[in-house]
Amino acid sequence: MSQKVWVIEDNTGKQVSRTTISRKSNSVFQQNSTKQRNPSLAYSLSIIIWGCGQFYNRQWRLGTLYFLFMMNFYLYISIAVIYWEFIKSYFESININYSEILLIFGFFYLSGLIFWHFNAWQAYFKSIKSNEKSLKRINMTLLPAVCSLLMPGWGQLLNGQVKKALFIQLLALTGIAATSFIFIIFSVWPTLELSRPRFIIEWIFSLSIIFSPFVLTMWIFSIFDAVKVNIDSKIKEPLSRRIKYAKNRFRGRIQIYGWKNAVLPLIKRMILIILLLVFCIISYHHVPKQFYVQQLQNLGNRMSEKEMTIIPNIIKNFLIVSD
């Protein structure tokens, strides 16, 4: 049986079959259904609840998989906290000591943190592939700051600074892990047996202490940078172009307000910086060096009492070099 095909003539005299029209309309519908995905929203959904960004991108199977991983991750952590004594006795019955159990738990915890951020970035880059429009930053001043307060790098992503967000979140991920390891290891340290896994745990504890002071600084910088960039879009430009903008802006202020009103705010800022440096110098000389030495010695002695060796040796060598 022959199939009937309707033929429509357009104004140019060309003939277009109905099947061709239906195919084109279907392709246009599919493009419109995936084109308008917001990458920042996809990331935000997945950083809050694993898999939600994938659901937003219509990746139903992958989103379900990530969501199940999140449920299992928090479920296993809850079981480990509630039934820790039972789990500990079970592993010890199969010749796995407390230090090895702690290393297994730490590896599982770190893997969960990595997988958490991976699922959010996967949703972000998947949404970029299906979005043909140019990405725009968020036009809300407080939202990037609040997001950076909750998670460093989140605000930078909302501002459209993907590379900076990746770098800051890498540091944030390491900082979160380091801070968690400090509290966990310090609380269970007296119960750990003398073994090679315990020496590895002490190295992890020492590196976490060394890295942890940078976490707060990075967190504050992320909040400040998110607000600053959202207010002034020129900060996202290359450094050479930003210097050119600054020169032109300074010349424009001189032409409008004159030398006095244009230079006076800069002089005030320089005076504040100088006063801050003077305050730091006076504070350093006011508090004697012996005070800091005594505090480090007390810290080293307390750790030595807990049978730690790495940090006390670092403090001892530092004091020898400083003398």
pTM of the model: 0.65
Predicted confidence (pLDDT) at residue 234 exceeds the cutoff of 80: no
The reported pLDDT for the residue numbered 5 is: 46
pLDDT in tens, 66-75: 999 999 999 9
Q: Do the beta carbons of residue 43 and residue 157 sit within 8 Å?
A: yes
Say if 61 falls within a structural domain: yes
Write down which residue in 262, 283, 299 finishes a domain.
262
Domain holding 143, by residue range, is: 38-262
Say if 305 falls within a structural domain: no
In 3D space, the residue among 116, 100, 141, 314 whose CA is nearest the CA of residue 229 turns out to be 141
Statement to judge: residues 84 and 29 lie in one domain:
no
The reported pLDDT for the residue numbered 199 is: 83
Mean pLDDT of 38-51: 90
Say if 283 falls within a structural domain: no
The reported pLDDT for the residue numbered 68 is: 93
Statement to judge: residues 30 and 55 lie in one domain:
no
What total of structural domains would you count in the chain? 2
| Minimum mean pLDDT range among 31-40, 110-119, 207-216 | 31-40
Write down which residue in 262, 280, 298 finishes a domain.
262
Statement to judge: residues 115 and 22 lie in one domain:
no
The reported pLDDT for the residue numbered 75 is: 92
Say if 298 falls within a structural domain: no
Statement to judge: residues 131 and 24 lie in one domain:
no
Place of tokens 């090679």: 196
pLDDT band at 277 (very low <50, low <70, confident <90, very high): confident
Mean pLDDT of 276-282: 75
Instruction: Tell me the range of 16-20, 77-81, 227-231, 294-298 where mean pLDDT is highest.
Output: 77-81
| Minimum mean pLDDT range among 122-126, 173-177, 257-261 | 257-261
Statement to judge: residues 49 and 149 lie in one domain:
yes
- The number of C-alpha atoms within 13 Å of 44 and in the hemisphere containing its C-beta is 18
Work out the mean pLDDT of the chain and round it to a whole number. 76
CA angle 245, 251, 255 (to 5 degrees): 140
The reported pLDDT for the residue numbered 319 is: 73
pLDDT band at 284 (very low <50, low <70, confident <90, very high): low
Predicted confidence (pLDDT) at residue 29 exceeds the cutoff of 50: no
Mean pLDDT of 49-69: 92
Statement to judge: residues 133 and 10 lie in one domain:
no
Write down which residue in 246, 262, 278 finishes a domain.
262
The reported pLDDT for the residue numbered 66 is: 93
